[in-house]
Structure 1
Amino acid sequence: MKKYIIVYVLMLLSISLFSQEYKAISPDGKLGVSVLVKDGKPVYTVNYNGILMLDDSPLGLITNVGDFSQEMELMASDYGKIDKKYTQDRIKKSTVIYQANELTVALSNKKGQKIEIIFRVSNNDIAFRYQLPQYGNSKSCVVEKEVTGFNFPNKTTTFLTPQATPMIGWERTKPSYEEEYIPDEPMGTSSKYGQGYTFPSLFHIGSDGWVLVSETGVSSSYCASHLSEGTSDGLYSIRFPDLGENNGIGSAAPAFSLPNFTPWRTITVSDDLKQIVETTISFDVVEPLYEPLQEYKYGRSTWSWIMWQDESMNYDDQVTYIDLAAEMGYEYILMDAMWDTQVGYDRMPSLIKYAQSKGVDVFLWYNSNGYWNDAPQGPKNKMNNTIIRKKEMKWLQSLGVKGLKIDFFGGDKQESMKLYEDILSDANDYGLMIVFHGTTLPRGWERMYPNFVGSEAVLASENLIFQQHANDMEAYNACLHPFIRNAVGSMEFGPVLLNKRHNRNNDGGNIRRTSDVFQLATAVLYQNPVQMFAIAPNNLTDVPAFEIEFMKEVPTTWDETVFIDGYPGKYCILARRHASKWYVVGVNAEHEPLNIEVKLPMLAGKLITRYGDNKDFVPFKDNISIKKNGKIQLTIQAKGGIILTN
């Protein structure tokens, strides 16, 4: 505590009115942000352990009520402390202590109009947002441009995924946030579509460390954003949605009433990858927007569509997968697209009742609909209209349906954010959980919306069915997600494909390149509170019994997450705890076995169960003892996995 106070006092003393620079420093004194005005333009810099991680980076908004990006003057500052503890049952840890120093900087433009920028600096995270008062009689504001940028040192390389051009791809459904990543790419490289890059965005500052950039707190009062194309000298800026999103309907510029504030921009900074993987900043700076109607139950689900595809959406096949869920002890079955026509509204009550008689509850798939793409699957025209949506949800509630998976959204404009929020709010009124698919990144939504249980926003398991390339790249992609996509929000991937061939009979279709234990490990590696697992009925007899027993026991919610070792796209070793049980999982995307010594203090001195692959890719299960110092030598086969549990 003494060190904390000394650092905070030094931070205050470091302010110089004459230099017109204000600083905020993290509680541990390692991370600092400085705000100043240069040539009338507000900028900020970020330092970690005395090393520059972001050089002069622009700040400001251009709005219809005033320009707050140039001819600005620093007016005043205010300091405060954030010290809060909260619980959250749907993220990577259940109890979070968030401590940060807060700096509020007031600036004024040439017209005397003021704007405030609020910075919160915790030990490895910076979050900042703009706050606008009412200007005279102007009670509303359109943000025409946000000039916020992130200016990286020249030695930086990037791990980015491109924002897709709107209205391209299958049935004009892009952007669906399912593009591929390029590792360690030079800054300024043109993106695939020329539309910039999707959040979250990971930057490698050479030997100095890592920076993860994203946003959180996006609700119906703003649009979602992404990064622009980068300049050759390392500047990436906030970019609003493309005008062509939502089939060209609606404004790309957000609008809100005054006074108000923008969403938070987040920057996670560390000299290693541990804090990148373990960050909770997406949830630390937001609060719940409404109370849950009830306590929502999370868990595991079977899902016929992933392996048996469209033809399986019939009464008898759904009964088969209900029986599979019951055999596995799973809480749910997901009934996917076209249940409305291939089972029919008239027969759904009896099918749902059968599931409930087996102790299995139901998630149902819906098309988001509207005017934004041509996706033909039904049910259609139910979720995009408030009156129809509430009528449908009332019917679903009467049947005891527990959740919906809603697919094919149209973009990141503010009206899309409003649709997400309206669906979530209405669903809560009827006791329904919501999964979004073909969708944007969740931005703090696990905390903001109590019935939100995950979004896809990733090149997910369905692509393993669609194309061999996705299977060839599966291990590589799995070794990216804990560092990037899953670091900032729940990721509804649909993991654990135990069929060696991706078709109904396990005898055709695309070929799985990864091992069985790799697949089991993804049940833990990928964090989502409701997991739609891709196991099939034949797996009850065609894989070793210990694999099925593992899948019967694996949880979907976590009390603690600890990064052990890894590098994006190469390998990842991660530990998660549920109650008193630890799961340590590792996956290897390299072409050779990974031999590595790691330290696992959570398993030190214990007899534990190990799942692994031998050199012939045959899965095994055994028991081993961990040394009292927690050290253990691991071997993870190429495209293979390992699991250790107590």
Structure 2
Amino acid sequence: MTKIVSYLSLLLCLLSGISVFAQVAEVISPDGKLKLNVFSENGKALYNVTYQGKEMLEKSPLGLITNESDFSQNLKFTDSKKDQVSKTYTNEKIKKSQVDYKANIITVSFTNANQFSISMEFQVSNENIAFRYHLLPMKDRMSAVVQSEITGYRFPAQTTTFLSPMMKPMTGFARTAPSYESGYKADAELGVKADYGYVFPGLFRLGNDGWILLSETGVNSLYCASHLENTSEKSLYKVAYPDMAENNGFGSTGAAISLPGSTPWRTITIGESLKPIVETTVPFDVVEPMYEPSQKYQFGKSTWSWILWQDNSMNYDDQVKFIDLASALNYQFILMDALWDKNIGKERMKELVQYAKSKNVGLMLWYNSNGAANDAPMGPRNKMSSSVERKKEMKWLKEIGVKGLKVDFFGGDKQETMRLYEDILSDANDFGLTIVFHGTTLPRGWEIMYPNYAGSEAVLASEMLYFSEDVRKQEAFFASLHPFIRNTVGSMEFGGTFLNKFLTKSNKDKNKRYTTDSFQLATAVLFQNPVQMFAVMPNNLTDAPKFQLDFMKEIPTLWDETVFIDGDPGKYSVIARRHQDHWYIAGINAEKTVKKLKISLPMFAGKSVKLIIDDAKGNSSEKEVKISKNGDFTVEIQPNGGFVLRN
């Protein structure tokens, strides 16, 4: 009898094991290299990821906690369904103008202790995973507040990180933080504590096994934005919602959603090299336009006086000079920054708009986003935060012929602030205005979602090169990171490419630039944004070499293709971009020694092309070079230097 009981117990254990095993939901990428498993264990929903047979993310948690029910524990695997998606879409504002997207889908369902359901949709394309949660009504509840998220990413022990810390809320200039303007540490060890977490995106090097980029996309007025934070476990990072102190303490830290409802997408890009990281389009693949464009929007290049001439330049006469500069460079726009309302006024602005129009230049005007989230004093204030005032102002802007706005100083990542972003964009579309955001959060699929969206700062950008000696000294280091992290997931309005040797109006005495001219020209290719405010100054028309001006006249801001060539984040980067039939290959060197590279350029095989490069003294020049028939080319990049090849 005892033996029979033992056999029955063993049989039950085996059957139980088979049952658990059967509840592993598996999905593989179209090319068969990337595999995702979703399963339950001890009442927890978990997933892991392998690439080419190597485990890239170890057993990692899934789940949400709402005010109505807990979906982080006591979860039972109930169902999984598979599907596929295949689509082709076009968008001129992103790194690749036409995208063919194919992914295999699995939707896995769980029930919790209250017998309420949650499902998790995973789309697995080649080298990318995008996933989100779907919540159903809970008995008579047709709405809920998602209070926190359990989603995590557990990395192998050999992993190092490339992360930017979230700024402490209500600190910095006029209490305008967080604004995604912190620096990065390269190849830092796992688990380094950041008091307020780390912003998206985050890059991770898995030793010799490859790379992972984490981010999110599809955030709109219906949800808050999120970020990464450490856990008590060194190798585990999790999704975190905004800090209560953001937005001057106003608004919830979670997300109020109507049921049935979905979260934004969490994205994971994986590769053995950095090529999939640089070339990924996953932030755009899984989102759709939220409204139709009211017109065909124009994007391109802009001058702006403020970056070096600062507040004192916000006067009628100086702005005429920058309109003339834009005209001389064949730029589409001029940006007039803060204080134009006080120093120029609306009546004279009408004259400036007409003058610019006579020069075939469009005006973009700066606005303070609001007056309630922080203490930023510059005007115009209190025009963007009120629906009534915003529409009045935008009606006037349309009437006088303004083309777009740069809206600054947002309050954080709460749903309340996400709603403000969307309201500004939606209203602006009604009046035919493009929108650039400054002092802002990361764009999360907005190039697709909002047709009149024209880029965001959300980076330690050009203004800090003016204000900070330390940032100037680290310019090459940070620039070598952006193509792999910040700029690969969304448009980045950097506002750079300085031709002044000194970052002042006088171009002398102080704020010396530590990078070469060729480096500066290379960043015009490395940094992608549909409307880029370049830092070319009126004096550069006479003190900069002709080949530099010619380059700045011809460089596009819209690209049809982006290709990774070579690089190591924090050390050097080489990226190729194509506009129509013209290729631009740009590289920079952040190290203290000359970087000699042999790069493969099949697009230039056997052709003669123009090369802008530095000599050993850091002096920039242009010459013609012949690329070998097999496309190989050897280049030496000076420390803090760069190069550009173009046909």
- TM tier, smaller: over 0.9
Q: Displacement, 1:508?
A: 2.8
For residues 276-291 of structure 1, the aligned pairs below 5 Å read 276-291=277-292
Over residues 573-612 of structure 1, what are the superposed CA-to-partner deviations in whole Å (9 max), with x where a residue is unaligned?
0000000000000000010111110100011111101110
Q: Displacement, 1:17?
A: 6.5
Looking at structure 1, the residues matched to 171 and 546 of structure 2 have their Cα atoms a distance apart, in angstroms, of: 44
Q: Aligned pair 1:138/2:141, yes or no? A: yes
Q: Displacement, 1:19?
A: 3.7
Runs of 5+ consecutive residues of structure 1 not aligned to the other structure: 1-14
Looking at structure 2, the residues matched to 182 and 645 of structure 1 have their Cα atoms a distance apart, in angstroms, of: 32
For residues 342-361 of structure 1, the aligned pairs below 5 Å read 342-361=343-362
Aligned to 1:24: 27
Is the contact between residue 81 and residue 102 of structure 1 (CA under 8 Å) also seen in structure 2? yes
Looking at structure 2, the residues matched to 140 and 446 of structure 1 have their Cα atoms a distance apart, in angstroms, of: 29
Aligned to 1:113: 116
Q: Displacement, 1:187?
A: 0.8
Structure 2: which amino acid aligns with 1:55?
E
Is the contact between residue 268 and residue 276 of structure 1 (CA under 8 Å) also seen in structure 2? yes
For residues 402-441 of structure 1, the aligned pairs below 5 Å read 402-441=403-442
Q: Displacement, 1:444?
A: 0.3
Aligned to 2:394: 393
Looking at structure 1, the residues matched to 281 and 469 of structure 2 have their Cα atoms a distance apart, in angstroms, of: 35
Q: Which of the numbers 145, 153, 161 marks the counterpart of 1:158? A: 161
Runs of 5+ consecutive residues of structure 2 not aligned to the other structure: 1-17
For residue 475 of structure 1, give the secondary structure of its aligned residue in structure 2: helix
Looking at structure 2, the residues matched to 233 and 515 of structure 1 have their Cα atoms a distance apart, in angstroms, of: 40
For residues 423-462 of structure 1, the aligned pairs below 5 Å read 423-462=424-463
Aligned to 1:12: none
Is the contact between residue 228 and residue 237 of structure 1 (CA under 8 Å) also seen in structure 2? yes
Is the contact between residue 560 and residue 577 of structure 1 (CA under 8 Å) also seen in structure 2? yes
Looking at structure 2, the residues matched to 174 and 231 of structure 1 have their Cα atoms a distance apart, in angstroms, of: 26
Q: Which of the numbers 21, 33, 57 marks the counterpart of 1:54? A: 57
Aligned to 1:10: none
Aligned to 1:544: 545
Looking at structure 1, the residues matched to 141 and 218 of structure 2 have their Cα atoms a distance apart, in angstroms, of: 24
Q: Which of the numbers 73, 76, 79 marks the counterpart of 1:73? A: 76
Aligned to 2:619: 618
Q: Aligned pair 1:104/2:107, yes or no? A: yes
Is the contact between residue 502 and residue 508 of structure 1 (CA under 8 Å) also seen in structure 2? no
For residue 162 of structure 1, give the secondary structure of its aligned residue in structure 2: coil
Looking at structure 2, the residues matched to 22 and 502 of structure 1 have their Cα atoms a distance apart, in angstroms, of: 57
Aligned Cα root-mean-square deviation (Å): 0.9
Aligned to 2:177: 174
Q: Displacement, 1:69?
A: 0.9
Which deviates further from its counterpart, 128-137 or 360-369? 128-137
Aligned to 1:245: 246
Aligned to 1:212: 213
Q: Displacement, 1:46?
A: 0.6
Over residues 337-373 of structure 1, what are the superposed CA-to-partner deviations in whole Å (9 max), with x where a residue is unaligned?
0000011122110011111111100100000013111
For residue 131 of structure 1, give the secondary structure of its aligned residue in structure 2: strand
Aligned to 1:572: 573
Structure 2: which amino acid aligns with 1:61?
L
Aligned to 2:6: none
Q: Displacement, 1:230?
A: 4.4
Structure 2: which amino acid aligns with 1:531?
Q
For residues 466-545 of structure 1, the aligned pairs below 5 Å read 466-545=467-546
Aligned to 1:562: 563
Check 1:633–1:16 CA distance in 2 against 1; reply closer, same or farther (3 A cut).
farther
For residue 193 of structure 2, give the secondary structure of its aligned residue in structure 1: coil
Q: Displacement, 1:233?
A: 3.1
Looking at structure 1, the residues matched to 167 and 424 of structure 2 have their Cα atoms a distance apart, in angstroms, of: 25
Looking at structure 2, the residues matched to 244 and 85 of structure 1 have their Cα atoms a distance apart, in angstroms, of: 42
For residues 262-273 of structure 1, the aligned pairs below 5 Å read 262-273=263-274
For residue 382 of structure 1, give the secondary structure of its aligned residue in structure 2: coil
For residue 519 of structure 1, give the secondary structure of its aligned residue in structure 2: helix
For residue 461 of structure 2, give the secondary structure of its aligned residue in structure 1: coil
Looking at structure 2, the residues matched to 387 and 347 of structure 1 have their Cα atoms a distance apart, in angstroms, of: 24
Aligned to 2:11: none
Over residues 130-173 of structure 1, what are the superposed CA-to-partner deviations in whole Å (9 max), with x where a residue is unaligned?
00111221010100111100111111110000011100111111
Structure 2: which amino acid aligns with 1:429?
D
Aligned to 2:321: 320
Q: Displacement, 1:414?
A: 0.1
**TM-score, with length taken from structure 2:** 0.97
Structure 1: which amino acid aligns with 2:102?
Q
Looking at structure 2, the residues matched to 329 and 136 of structure 1 have their Cα atoms a distance apart, in angstroms, of: 61
Looking at structure 2, the residues matched to 179 and 599 of structure 1 have their Cα atoms a distance apart, in angstroms, of: 34
Aligned residues: 630
For residue 333 of structure 1, give the secondary structure of its aligned residue in structure 2: strand
Check 1:16–1:435 CA distance in 2 against 1; reply closer, same or farther (3 A cut).
farther
Aligned to 1:597: 598
Looking at structure 2, the residues matched to 111 and 374 of structure 1 have their Cα atoms a distance apart, in angstroms, of: 46
Q: Displacement, 1:501?
A: 0.7
Structure 1: which amino acid aligns with 2:282?
I
Aligned to 1:223: 224
Over residues 158-208 of structure 1, what are the superposed CA-to-partner deviations in whole Å (9 max), with x where a residue is unaligned?
0000011100111111101100101111111112xx011000000111000
Structure 1: which amino acid aligns with 2:461?
A
For residue 306 of structure 2, give the secondary structure of its aligned residue in structure 1: helix
Aligned to 2:189: 186
Structure 2: which amino acid aligns with 1:195?
Y
For residue 207 of structure 1, give the secondary structure of its aligned residue in structure 2: coil
Looking at structure 2, the residues matched to 242 and 327 of structure 1 have their Cα atoms a distance apart, in angstroms, of: 47
For residue 523 of structure 1, give the secondary structure of its aligned residue in structure 2: helix
For residue 70 of structure 2, give the secondary structure of its aligned residue in structure 1: coil
Aligned to 1:127: 130
Aligned to 1:9: none
Looking at structure 1, the residues matched to 275 and 545 of structure 2 have their Cα atoms a distance apart, in angstroms, of: 34
Q: Aligned pair 1:379/2:370, yes or no? A: no
Looking at structure 2, the residues matched to 110 and 247 of structure 1 have their Cα atoms a distance apart, in angstroms, of: 37
Is the contact between residue 187 and residue 230 of structure 1 (CA under 8 Å) also seen in structure 2? no
For residue 230 of structure 2, give the secondary structure of its aligned residue in structure 1: coil
Looking at structure 2, the residues matched to 404 and 224 of structure 1 have their Cα atoms a distance apart, in angstroms, of: 23
Q: Displacement, 1:398?
A: 0.5
Q: Displacement, 1:525?
A: 0.5
Looking at structure 1, the residues matched to 504 and 75 of structure 2 have their Cα atoms a distance apart, in angstroms, of: 62
Aligned to 2:636: 635
For residue 346 of structure 1, give the secondary structure of its aligned residue in structure 2: helix
Aligned to 1:44: 47
Structure 2: which amino acid aligns with 1:38?
E
Which deviates further from its counterpart, 89-98 or 507-516? 507-516
Looking at structure 1, the residues matched to 147 and 549 of structure 2 have their Cα atoms a distance apart, in angstroms, of: 54
Is the contact between residue 209 and residue 270 of structure 1 (CA under 8 Å) also seen in structure 2? yes
For residue 518 of structure 2, give the secondary structure of its aligned residue in structure 1: helix
Structure 2: which amino acid aligns with 1:92?
K
Over residues 15-55 of structure 1, what are the superposed CA-to-partner deviations in whole Å (9 max), with x where a residue is unaligned?
97744211110001110110011100000001111111111
Over residues 515-563 of structure 1, what are the superposed CA-to-partner deviations in whole Å (9 max), with x where a residue is unaligned?
0011011111100011100010111111111100110111000000000
Aligned to 1:4: none
Identity of aligned residues (%): 57
Structure 1: which amino acid aligns with 2:451?
P
Is the contact between residue 217 and residue 445 of structure 1 (CA under 8 Å) also seen in structure 2? yes
Looking at structure 2, the residues matched to 577 and 98 of structure 1 have their Cα atoms a distance apart, in angstroms, of: 20
Structure 2: which amino acid aligns with 1:107?
F
Looking at structure 1, the residues matched to 347 and 553 of structure 2 have their Cα atoms a distance apart, in angstroms, of: 33
Q: Displacement, 1:232?
A: 4.6
Is the contact between residue 40 and residue 72 of structure 1 (CA under 8 Å) also seen in structure 2? yes
Structure 1: which amino acid aligns with 2:192?
T
Is the contact between residue 465 and residue 509 of structure 1 (CA under 8 Å) also seen in structure 2? no
Displacement over 6 Å in runs of 4+ = none
Structure 2: which amino acid aligns with 1:333?
I
Looking at structure 1, the residues matched to 232 and 32 of structure 2 have their Cα atoms a distance apart, in angstroms, of: 31
Structure 2: which amino acid aligns with 1:415?
E
